[in-house]
Amino acid sequence: MDPALSHVSVDDIENTLNQVAEIKAARVVVSPEGLIQEIHVLALPTKSPKQLVRDIESTLMARFGVPVDHRKISIAQLGAESMPTGAEAGNFRARIISVNEHVSGVRASVAVVLEIEGSEYIGQASGPASQTIRTRLVAQATLDAAEQYTDGEYSFALEDVAIIQLGKERAAVSCVTLVSPPGEQTYAGSALVRQNEKDSIVRATLDAINRRLGLLTTS
């Protein structure tokens, strides 16, 4: 059973939650015994509800030492039209932790680890070990990690990916279609080859979807 709020007021909790970047409004409902029964939150669509619930749990534990059952937290998110536009919106970013490829006989597998909003997601893909397919597998593993961030509510389809020559430079280019409830949207991204081809393929694929990931709203 959750402990009673003997050392903190509802106002303190609501004011603390309202300081979380994504939260626009918060309301806490307690029982006559002082137990948290419900937490209702209105939030911007910049983070998945699952991640936001974890942030709320962590915030209340760190600030007040109050554990909360995640089932008591209700998240309502505003639509994408509520988000700032242009320079105010900022850019979503995923950080590359590692890119690993393993070839066994005629099969290849790729694992891409991304850090998104403080959590790590491991994307995987496998297929024939031809050079062309291995290039696609890197991009597909990247998209698999991104899909995990959205908890499967959105799907990314790799249209094409390639390493091309641009003057004296080589670059990775990636074309990705975002499949969501409203329909399909296609985006392209690119990245110059600096460290190695695999790294540039991941960066090009992320470049194609970075501008949209921050607006994905459900988990």
pLDDT single digits (tens) 24-37: 888 899 888 888 88
- pTM of the shown model: 0.57
Three-state SS for 129? Answer: coil
CA atoms within 13 A of residue 149's CA, in its CB half-sphere: 33
Per-residue pLDDT at 199:
92
Round to whole Å and give the CA distance between 206 and 191.
9
Query: How many domains are there within the chain?
Result: 2
Q: Is the pLDDT confidence value at 213 over 80? A: no
What's the chain's average pLDDT?
82
The answer to whether the beta carbons of residues 149 and 48 sit under 8 Å apart is yes
pLDDT digits (tens, 9 = 90+) for 87-132: 334 445 788 999 999 999 999 999 999 988 788 999 999 999 898 8
Per DSSP, helices labelled H in the chain are: 10-17, 49-64, 131-149, 197-213
Q: Is the pLDDT confidence value at 173 over 70? A: yes
Per-residue pLDDT at 212:
67
What range defines the domain where residue 69 resides?
10-80
Round to whole Å and give the CA distance between 155 and 135.
20
Per-residue pLDDT at 87:
36
* Count of C-beta atoms within a 10 Å radius of residue 104: 9
Q: Is the pLDDT confidence value at 81 over 90? A: no
Per-residue pLDDT at 136:
94
Q: Where do we find the tokens 């540039």? A: 200
Whether residues 100 and 73 fall in one domain = no
Per-residue pLDDT at 102:
93
**Is the residue at 200 inside a domain?**
yes
Round to whole Å and give the CA distance between 174 and 158.
8
Q: Is the pLDDT confidence value at 219 over 60? A: no
Whether residues 201 and 135 fall in one domain = yes
Q: Is the pLDDT confidence value at 85 over 70? A: no
pLDDT band at 141 (very low <50, low <70, confident <90, very high): very high
Whether residues 123 and 198 fall in one domain = yes
Round to whole Å and give the CA distance between 133 and 138.
9
Domain termination residue (choose one: 26, 58, 80): 80
**Is the residue at 166 inside a domain?**
yes
Per-residue pLDDT at 186:
83
From the list 118, 121, 182, the residue with the least C-alpha distance to 148 is 121
Whether residues 108 and 191 fall in one domain = yes
Whether residues 135 and 112 fall in one domain = yes
Whether residues 76 and 121 fall in one domain = no
Per-residue pLDDT at 46:
72
